[in-house]
Amino acid sequence: MSSNLFDLSGKVAIITGCNTGLGQGMALGLACAGCHIVGVNRRSADETQKRVEAQGVKFLSLQTELGNTAAFSSIIQQAEEHFGNIDILINNAGTIRRENALEFTEKDWDDVIDVNLKSVFFLSQAFARACITKKRRGKIINIASMLSFQGGIRVPSYTASKSGVLGLTRLLANEWASRGINVNAIAPGYMATNNTEALRNDPERSREILARIPAGEWGTPDDIAGAAIFLASDASNYVQGHTLAVDGGWLAR
């Protein structure tokens, strides 16, 4: 047994959507554990890069639209050419559209499903193929949601996508555990990020949400880092197909 099960020194993690919010928090957490980071974002991740590199590890920035699956093989190839190996994939990038189900448009459905679910599967597929070809162990961490367990309101495509992430995590674990690839997910609770800005700015909804959280406060990106380190490290080698809620007790209430 390793003397430090949570040590990620020399490991390389691809993290989508790490320019802000939860993705940035996980990138910094893994960097503090010694992991190099490949950041895949729609826009610049300069702030994340500076903060990651301040931990003494390397950061490779790649920019692409995650709705375009044609770019996924290139992401894996560029990461491997730069670092020589890839050990971890965190499918964090996500988007949301809010509207009553009766008025919800096909475009808002497709835009969310393409990023939140379709990209998770096909980037995981590209990562797993690389791991299996090179006969190396891999860790995949998907980012689910409280709405993987609950219905929510006014976010039909988001709820569908995050319910899909939970199921997909189980399916991929079933298929890939025997190939040395761990597939798990983290379900963040109500976090202070861009996606929840509308809720936090609505006094009534914010009060309702906080009243149900036993911890009594919104989570922060820092709160997710420990779970990401655990699922990326040797400490979780026998954890497969699990979705870990980091929710301040929301689901226990």
> 166: part of which helix (H) or strand (E)?
helix 156-176
How would you classify the pairing of strands 243-246 and 59-63? unpaired
Amino acid present at 184: N
Q: What are the residue numbers of the active site?
A: 158
Strand, helix or coil at 205? helix
CA dist., res. 244 & res. 116, Å (int):
18
Task: Determine whether 144 is exposed, middle or buried from the number of CB atoms within 10 Å of its CB (0-12, 13-18, 19+).
Answer: buried
Sheet holding 88-91, edge to edge: 59-63, 36-41, 12-16, 88-91, 138-143, 181-188, 243-246
Tokens of 176: 């890939």
- DSSP for residue 17: S
